[in-house]
Structure formats: structure tokens, C-alpha cells
């Protein structure tokens, strides 16, 4: 196991100090971001480009040259005909509910009949071969280099999933079932990107083992390409129960701001425009029993003379949590008594936070050393506030000069747009690169089940149309920010062709060039090649999410993927039609034995 260097421990202490007692310089507020451009009904087109290596392009054409997502010869030029036949068969089989619902039973039966070795070989020829790059960092290299030759990069993910061992029972709030399709909801299963497994265990040594796995993934990514990504899960680096506790405290702190804002008649105001009047707040808090010292802490933190405080400045005050927990009590309406708002963490809990930051810092240092960017996957809402907060802490350190760490935003959540706008503004004030991956989401059923069970508001949008509108709203906001300043980056992680076309149109309108490497695109390996490869060949930075790992250990990942993406698979009729079209073209032109040259 890799020993943690002293410098890493020192960095972790710095991060921990920032979270607990840190003081950050206050910067003036920016003017409001440019208003979103109204979408017009025009033909979608990317700038006229010609490739000069990976992601390079140049030249302009006033009319624009569209990226054709139905030109099968270009879309599938990286595949031989046997690969196309496999894609057609696998995608068709994944569209049948019976096979998806019973996939685990079918695989267990196949192992008994064929034996492990023959079963593994069958999987490599079919499902595993379609969606997984290989068993280890050496085996995946040919596929990565082939995709790169056709303009498509890689986001590596070691996709081995672990069950909960005996004695490692998860927190009751985490016992919800895994993601299942929800045909009438916010659309999470229609467009997921990246791993969505969540690790539940109690052993800190497991976290170190997972860190070692991520380090291997980073080295594999750095050794295979010059501009790759590596995906990481925060629940693999720390105990989910601690992340849940920290998230609860963070949510309470922000809800308290919203409560105080409502007392100052600021309901319905844009989240970035809400400002608490400190004098009015002091009067209110004194009236409900808060200690006078609490208001003194606010005054000391707020050094400007405006006499107001916004949500981002409010979040900074949270860093002095050790003092605030002693000072701030708020009324509990149900119990009719005053209670502390913030939990005073124990020494062990503070140590857990320190160890998570320490592991994150180790990964970030290795990512910089290997020329790799880290993509922190989103997880369930009851842990996501802590994950986002810890990710932001690392972005403030490692994204100063370039975007190294990407945070993930789930647009099927009702508050997704507020989260995006707040973090963009925070990065502007503090001078680091905002880097985001936009997804629709992967935990819809689980989130709704938990909200119903614990009787709180469903955090998921009511339908797919609302989720789609939220995704485009967040995307448009970020694209506008990219046009205004250089330190903003986004990965459009979507299998939705309309979303990709919308992005290309907005890039045209805002004169954003692909070679600037500010707008990335991402799809899963084995899916949507008709989108990925035309984009890459046109010079746009596009990436495949590339899982890898031993066959028998990755099959749980494939099983879960089939469940999560059943909605998309059933609707992949167009992709299957394009595969048929290309196969028939090759037969008619006597190119059925075509082999890609690279």
C-alpha cells in the first residue's frame, strides 16, 4: 500500500482547518451574469473545423458546418462488422424487460451450465465486450488508443463493486434498494453517465484499498492518453455514515439562512440575490434565544460595511462551526424548545473528515503528476451536500491554474440550478476554475422511496420534461459564463441527441471554439457511438466513460447498468436502425470485411 506522505498529511490539515476555523478573504460581488440567450429555431451546426490531433480544430465558416449524427460510415468507422453485429444484438437484448429484470438469475444459470471460464468467455464476446474495456490497465490500452485515434478520449473507471460484509450494516437511511427504473418520473434512468455504485462499510482500511485502486486507475489513464479523466467515488474514500452526518449539518445551516431570509421578506428572490440584513437578523435571533456572541461572530466574519450577508458568505461562516455550535440555538416548533442548530462533531468524526481529505489530496497530487483530471461522481442527495463541499475544498486548491477536479451536478434534482449558480459564483470570487459534469441523474427511484418512507419533500423533478428543462437551463448558464470568462468548464454528459445539438447551437451563438477545451461531451462505452465519434472527428473534445475490471467482478456493474439504463435502451431504436443501415451499406458496397485503420 502506498504510504501517505507527510506533505499530504500537512495538506489535509490545511483543508481541515479551512473547514473548521478557516478565514477567507472577502471579495466584492460581481454584477449579475449575462441573461440567458433566448433559444431560436435554427439549424444546429458546429464551426467549420479540421482536426490537427486530439481535439484540435481551426477555421470558421459563417454558415457553420453541422455535425451529422446519421452519417453511419463516419459514426462507425472505428468498428469492424462483427463489433456492429454485437452492438446490435446486445442493445436489442437490453430492450427486453424480462431479460433486464432477470439478468442476475440468467447469469447465475449460465455459470452453472457453462462453468466460470466458458461463461467469462461468452461475456467477453457479448455484454462485457460491449460495455467494458478489459480486465486491467494493460488490457484496456488498445481500445483507449483506438478510440483516441478516432477523436474520442476516455474517462477510466475501475468498476468492481463490493457487497456489504457481515458486521458492516449500513445506516438505516441508506438501506433503500438500488436504482431501479421508474417509468413515470424525473427521467434519471433515461440518461445516466458514470458510476453510481455507493460503498457501504465501516473499515477505514477499505478506504485505503479503494484509494489504491483509484491510484492505479489514474496511472492507467495517464499512461494511455495525454488528456484523460479518472472517475472517483467519495463514498469509497470515507464512511458513508459520516458523509450523511456532515450533509445533515450542511443542509440545516443553509435552511437556517432560507428561514432568516423569509423573515426579511426575501422569499422567491434568486438565491444569489438574497441578502440578510445583519441588524435585523441580530434582533430576530436575540428574540428567539440566540446568544449575543453569535451575532458578534457574524460581525467579525463580515468585514465589509454593507451590513448584509449573502448565502456564499453565510457558508464561509460555517467554517467556524466549532464556535457556532456552542452559540447558536434555534426554536424547535414541534417540541416548543430551543435546540442547537449545528452538531458539534466528535474528535473521531473530525478525524474521519481529515482522512477523507487526505485521501482526496493524494489522488489529486497523482492526477496532476500524471496529467489526468479527476471526476467526482455524484451520489444520493442525503450524502451529496458533504460530497460537494469536500470536492469544492479540493477544487479551491487544485483548480487554481487549470481544471483538475470536476464536480458532478444532477439535474433531476429540483435545486440543481441553484447549486450550479452558487458554485460558479464562488469560483469567480475566489479565482479558481469551475469544472462541472452535468448529468440528469441515476438515483431517482431510491430518492423517491426514501422521501416517501421518511415523509419529506421529494427532491426529484416531477417528470422527464422538467428534468430536461433544468439540464438545459444549467447548461445555458454555464455556457454563458464560459463566454464571459475563461475559468469555467463543463462536460455535457448526455446520451440525449437533442441536448448535444442544443449545446452545439449555443456554442455557435457564443462563438465558443472546440479547440478551447472548455466544453466537453461524454457518453458511456458501448452506447451512442453515432454521437461520440462524429463529434470527435469534427474536433470536439468528447469522451467515453470506460469501465474496466475482471469479468466476474464487473458483472454486478453490468447488472446495475442494465437496470439504470432500461429506459434509454428501450428507446434506442434509432441507434439500432443506424447500426442496421451501416451493416447493409457495407454488404452492398462489399465492405463487410472492413477493418479500421489507425
Q: Where are the domains of the chain?
A: 126-233+347-571, 241-344
Instruction: Give the lowest-confidence range in 3-17, 144-158, 232-246, 562-576.
Output: 3-17
> Would you tell me how many other CB atoms lie within 10 Å of the CB of residue 369?
11
Residue percentage of the chain with pLDDT more than 70: 73
What does the pLDDT look like over 30-54, one tens digit per residue?
Answer: 333 333 333 333 333 333 333 333 3
Q: What's the CATH architecture for 126-233+347-571?
A: Alpha-Beta Barrel (3.20)
Provide the pLDDT confidence category of residue 163 given band limits of 50, 70 and 90. very low
**Ramachandran sector of residue 289 (left: φ over 0; alpha: ψ -120 to 50; beta: rest):** left
- Beta-sheet pairing, 488-493 with 519-524: parallel
7 burial level (CB within 10 Å; 0-12, 13-18, 19+):
exposed
Sign of dihedral through CA atoms 490, 491, 496, 501?
A: positive
pLDDT above 60 (res 551)? yes
Sole residue written with cell 458554485: 423
pTM of the complete model? 0.81
Count the Cβ atoms, other than its own, within 10 Å of residue 34: 12
Could you report the per-residue pLDDT of 72-99, keeping only the tens digit for each? 999 999 999 999 999 999 999 988 888 8
Q: Which CATH number does the domain 241-344 belong to among 1.10.12, 1.10.20, 1.10.3470, 1.10.238?
A: 1.10.238
| CATH fold match for the domains 126-233+347-571 and 241-344 | no
The stretch 131-139 carries a mean pLDDT of 90
Cα dihedral sign, 384-386-392-395: negative
Q: What is 50-77 written as a DSSP string?
A: --SSTT------TT-B---TT-HHHHTT
Q: What is the distance between the terminal CA atoms of the chain, rounded to a whole angstrom?
A: 38
Return mean pLDDT, the chain: 79
The three three-digit cell numbers of residue 316, written as one number: 464561509
Task: Report pLDDT for 206.
Answer: 86
pLDDT > 60? residue 345: yes
Q: How far is residue 404 from each of residues 153, 210, 376, 410, 495, measured CA to CA in Å?
A: 16, 20, 11, 20, 24
Amino acid at each position: 500500500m502506498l504510504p501517505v506522505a507527510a506533505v499530504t498529511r500537512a495538506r489535509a490539515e490545511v483543508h481541515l482547518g479551512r473547514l473548521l476555523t478557516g478565514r477567507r478573504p472577502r471579495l466584492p460581488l460581481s454584477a449579475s451574469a449575462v441573461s440567458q440567450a433566448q433559444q431560436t429555431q435554427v439549424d444546429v451546426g458546429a464551426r467549420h473545423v479540421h482536426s490537427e490531433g486530439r481535439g484540435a480544430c481551426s477555421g470558421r465558416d459563417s454558415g457553420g458546418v453541422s455535425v451529422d449524427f446519421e452519417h453511419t460510415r463516419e459514426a462507425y468507422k472505428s468498428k469492424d462488422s462483427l463489433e456492429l453485429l454485437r452492438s446490435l444484438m446486445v442493445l436489442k437484448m437490453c430492450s427486453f424487460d424480462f431479460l433486464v429484470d432477470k439478468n442476475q438469475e440468467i447469469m447465475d444459470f449460465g455459470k452453472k451450465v457453462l462453468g466460470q471460464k466458458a461463461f467469462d468467455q461468452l461475456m467477453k464476446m457479448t455484454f462485457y465486450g460491449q460495455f467494458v474495456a478489459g480486465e486491467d490497465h494493460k488490457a484496456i490500452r488498445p481500445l483507449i488508443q483506438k478510440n483516441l485515434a478516432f477523436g474520442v478520449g476516455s474517462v477510466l473507471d475501475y468498476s468492481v463493486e463490493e457487497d456489504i460484509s457481515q458486521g458492516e450494516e449500513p445506516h438505516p437511511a441508506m438501506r433503500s434498494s438500488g436504482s431501479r427504473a421508474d417509468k413515470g418520473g424525473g427521467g434519471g434512468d433515461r440518461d445516466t453517465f458514470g458510476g453510481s455504485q455507493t460503498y457501504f462499510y465501516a473499515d477505514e482500511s477499505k478506504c485505503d484499498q479503494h484509494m489504491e485502486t483509484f491510484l492505479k486507475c489514474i496511472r492507467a489513464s495517464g499512461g494511455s492518453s495525454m488528456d484523460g479523466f479518472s472517475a472517483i467515488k467519495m463514498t469509497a474514500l470515507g464512511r458513508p455514515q459520516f458523509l450523511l452526518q456532515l450533509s445533515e449539518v450542511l443542509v440545516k445551516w443553509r435552511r437556517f439562512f432560507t428561514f432568516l431570509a423569509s423573515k426579511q421578506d426575501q422569499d422567491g428572490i434568486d438565491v444569489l440575490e438574497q441578502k440578510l440584513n445583519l441588524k435585523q437578523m441580530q434582533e430576530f435571533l436575540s428574540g428567539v434565544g440566540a446568544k449575543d456572541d453569535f451575532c458578534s461572530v457574524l460581525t467579525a466574519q463580515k468585514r465589509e460595511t454593507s451590513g448584509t450577508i449573502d448565502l456564499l458568505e453565510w457558508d464561509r461562516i460555517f467554517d467556524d462551526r466549532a464556535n457556532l455550535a456552542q452559540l447558536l440555538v434555534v426554536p424547535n416548533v414541534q417540541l416548543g424548545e430551543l435546540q442547537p442548530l449545528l452538531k458539534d462533531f466528535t474528535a473521531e468524526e473530525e478525524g474521519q473528515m481529515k482522512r477523507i481529505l487526505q485521501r482526496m489530496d493524494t489522488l489529486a497530487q497523482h492526477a496532476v503528476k500524471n496529467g489526468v483530471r479527476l471526476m467526482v461522481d455524484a451520489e444520493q442527495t442525503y450524502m451529496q451536500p458533504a460530497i460537494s463541499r469536500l470536492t469544492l475544498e479540493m477544487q479551491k486548491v487544485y483548480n487554481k491554474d487549470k481544471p483538475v477536479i470536476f464536480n458532478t451536478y444532477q439535474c433531476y434534482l429540483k435545486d440543481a440550478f441553484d447549486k450550479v449558480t452558487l458554485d460558479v459564483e464562488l469560483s469567480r470570487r475566489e479565482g479558481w476554475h469551475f469544472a462541472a459534469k452535468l448529468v440528469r441523474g441515476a438515483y431517482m427511484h431510491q430518492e423517491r422511496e426514501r422521501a416517501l418512507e421518511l415523509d419529506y419533500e421529494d427532491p426529484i423533478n416531477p417528470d422527464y420534461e422538467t428534468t430536461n428543462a433544468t439540464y438545459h437551463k444549467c447548461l445555458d448558464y454555464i455556457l454563458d459564463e464560459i463566454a464571459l470568462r475563461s475559468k469555467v468548464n463543463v462536460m455535457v454528459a448526455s446520451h440525449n441527441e437533442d441536448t448535444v445539438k442544443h449545446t452545439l447551437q449555443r456554442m455557435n451563438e457564443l462563438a465558443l471554439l472546440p479547440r478551447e477545451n472548455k466544453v466537453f461531451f461524454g457518453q458511456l462505452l458501448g452506447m451512442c457511438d453515432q454521437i461520440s465519434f462524429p463529434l470527435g472527428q469534427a474536433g470536439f473534445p468528447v469522451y467515453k466513460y470506460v469501465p474496466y475490471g475482471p469479468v466476474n467482478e464487473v458483472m454486478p456493474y453490468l447488472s446495475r447498468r442494465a437496470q439504470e439504463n432500461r429506459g434509454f435502451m428501450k428507446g434506442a431504436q434509432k441507434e439500432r436502425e443506424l447500426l442496421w443501415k451501416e451493416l447493409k451499406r457495407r454488404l452492398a458496397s462489399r465492405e463487410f470485411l472492413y477493418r479500421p485503420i489507425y
